[in-house]
Amino acid sequence: MIAIIDYGVGNLASVNKAFSYIGFDSKITSDHSEILAADKVVLPGVGAFADAMNSLEKINMIPVIEEVAKKGTPLLGICLGMQLLFDYSTEGGEMVKGLGMLKGSVTQFPLDMGLKVPHMGWNSLEIKQNDGIFKGIKEKSYVYFVHSYFLTAQEESDVAATCYYGIKFDAAVCKGNVMGTQFHPEKSGDVGLTILRYFASI
């Protein structure tokens, strides 16, 4: 079973529906024991970084997510959920601590680059890892983004894909059992469903 963590922040129903569509059992849950017993775990997220971390803390979910990662269960962060896996964000003008499972930071797109912020819509990927959840994903595949803040991973080897929107940013990561996509695979057509299928099949 795939556990989709419910902490009051995230596009839960669409992620759940996507797994059902490709034939995998998933469940939206905030139950610690269910999450720890799951075969795979998804950390979704939309909205503000600080609010999400506060929500996780309120329901004592942070040590649960840390245990999931520590014991080797495949963990996938989606959109804000991917950003939360990293050291910190400067959203709101302050440094807000993240989960720190991967090294890197989250900062706002420059507002003077002549492009709309948030970055919203379809954009292409430059694939950096051709295995794992990106096995068989073609170079320049298009996926769907909605975000105002972007990731800069500290370790280049953690980056699975990058994207260009005024500046180059890290669009997906994979380090062992910890993975993440800045884009929404559940909204990214066949490419996104293929990525979710690979994750669910690990």
119 belongs to the catalytic site? no
Percent of the chain at pLDDT > 90 equals 91
CATH number at residue 116: 3.40.50.880
Domain that holds residue 53: 2-201
Beta bridge partners, 96, equal: 89
52 pLDDT tier (thresholds 50, 70, 90):
very high
Catalytic residue among 79, 119, 147, 174: 79
pLDDT digits (tens, 9 = 90+) for 155-185: 999 999 999 999 999 999 999 999 999 999 9
Tell me, what's the pLDDT at 94?
A: 82
How many domains, in total, are found in the chain? 1
Residues 70, 21: Cα–Cα separation, whole Å: 30
Cα separation, 101 vs 68, whole angstroms: 11
pLDDT tens profile 3-31: 999 998 877 999 999 999 999 999 999 99
* Predicted pLDDT of residue 112: 87
Residue 186 known to be catalytic: yes
Q: Which entry of 119, 147, 163, 184 is annotated as an active-site residue?
A: 184
For the question of residue 79 being annotated catalytic, the response is yes
Burial group, residue 11, by CB count within 10 angstroms (0-12, 13-18, 19+): buried
